[in-house]
Structure formats: structure tokens, C-alpha cells
Copies of this chain bind each other. A is one copy, B any other.
């Protein structure tokens, strides 16, 4: 019944270490089935080498385990919060990729310095505020989702398909979980470029609006002309 999201979640999870985005077991991916209101997610603390479509855990939108003998990722409530808030997304990815995490630890958004960035994001990659002691002490992973949603109250999640959680690391998403993996690769690459650009020019200004518009819009929206017709 959940064959398709099991396969999608599995493929996304095993792509993360192959792409160099994951050390050890830092990270997880999930794929949603909107019709059935469930998602498939990595089991907690399991080595990537031991993953199979069959051991993905199926969780519903209230957080109940629908199928699976293993505990789901401890970050499951964050994924769930994002699926509830961002109705247009089909998958979520969380990594601790090195350069993006360096920005998150410093509480800094990743400035949009060039067209590589503008091909994916319609502005900077936002960072959340720090979580309060109360949020941390209560339903921590759910509240992690809440600070992300709060940061996006004036942002379109498909125009900004990633966030840095302050002191923590990036979350990315997309229409499919495969797209969320692609964005996770882009975020790490963009963070690395931005760090080097900042070494060269500590006060570097963001990309000009007209160039941002051009690059973002040639890949996204009604006037896109990049890639093949769908």
C-alpha cells in the first residue's frame, strides 16, 4: 500500500551519504503520500547501509506509527510539522552537511551572492531564530518545526526550499523528496562558495535584484525556459 513512498524515501536516504552530505547517521529523508495522509521516514539511528524500502517507517499526520517495527527518526515531528504547514511539498530532507551547518551554528543566513544560488532560491537561505528554553524543554522536535514555520510566515516554501535551523543544521524540501535531495546538494555547494566569497570580500553585497529575477524565473514559474518541456 505504501510501496511508492517507501521506495522514494529509501532512495532519498541512501542518496545522502553518496552525495557526501552525511557523516555517520546525521540526517534523514521522508516522502509523503497526501491522499493517505502518511509519510515514510528513516528509522532512528540505523546505518545507511542497513536501510531497505521495507524498514522505512510509515507515520500519519498525527504522529502515529502506521506500519513498521522500528522507531522512526527522532526528527519525525519536525518533518510532520513541515508536511502540515507546507501543503505543496512532497518530501523533506535533513542533513548536517558541513558548510551549511557552519552557517547554521553561527546563526547566519546564507547570502545570495551569485547565479548558482539564484537558480534555486529567490533570496538568501533563511535562518530561524534561536529556540527558547521552553520550546527546547517541551516537544523539542515539533517546536523545531514550529520555528521553521514561523520563519516562513511571509515566504513561499517553493521559492525558498531550505532553511537553516539556528545552532543546528539545514532542512530542505521540494515537490518530491528527490527534489529535496537535489536542493540539499545545492545548499551545501552554495554555502561553500559563499564562505570563500566572504573570505575574498568580507562586506560582499547580495546579487542584484534583476539578475536574481532572471535566474530564478528562468527555472521556476510560468516563464521558465530551462530544461526540457514537461
For residue A211, which residues in chain B have a CB less than 8 angstroms away from its CB? 131, 136, 167
Q: With the chains together, A136 CA to B211 CA distance in Å?
A: 7
If A169-B116, A210-B136 touch, whether A71 touches B228 (CB-CB below 8 Å) is: yes
Q: Is A52 an interface residue (CB 8 A)?
A: no
Partner of A225 from the list B74, B119, B137, B225 (CB cut-off 8 Å) is B74
Q: With the chains together, A71 CA to B224 CA distance in Å?
A: 13
CB atoms of A106 and B200 under 8 A apart: yes
CB atoms of A167 and B133 under 8 A apart: no
For residue A229, which residues in chain B have a CB less than 8 angstroms away from its CB? 71
Q: With the chains together, A201 CA to B74 CA distance in Å?
A: 30
If A74-B218, A108-B200, A208-B130 touch, whether A26 touches B116 (CB-CB below 8 Å) is: yes
For residue A137, which residues in chain B have a CB less than 8 angstroms away from its CB? 210, 214
CB atoms of A101 and B114 under 8 A apart: yes
Q: Is A227 an interface residue (CB 8 A)?
A: yes
Known: A98-B189, A115-B167. 15 other contacts (CB 8 A): A24-B186, A45-B227, A71-B228, A98-B193, A101-B193, A102-B197, A104-B114, A105-B114, A107-B201, A133-B210, A137-B210, A137-B214, A167-B208, A167-B211, A195-B200
Q: Which of A181-223 contact B (CB under 8 A)?
A: 182, 185-186, 189, 192-201, 204, 207-208, 210-211, 214, 218
For residue A199, which residues in chain B have a CB less than 8 angstroms away from its CB? 102, 195, 198-199
Q: With the chains together, A137 CA to B136 CA distance in Å?
A: 47
By a beta-carbon cutoff of 8 Å, the part of chain A in contact with chain B is: 23-24, 26, 43-46, 70-71, 74, 96, 98-99, 101-108, 113-116, 119, 130-131, 133, 136-137, 140, 167-169, 182, 185-186, 189, 192-201, 204, 207-208, 210-211, 214, 218, 225-229
CB atoms of A200 and B102 under 8 A apart: yes
12 inter-chain pairs at a CB distance below 8 angstroms, sorted by A residue, are: A23-B189, A44-B226, A96-B189, A98-B189, A102-B196, A105-B114, A105-B193, A105-B197, A107-B201, A115-B167, A115-B169, A140-B218
Partner of A115 from the list B71, B102, B168, B218 (CB cut-off 8 Å) is B168
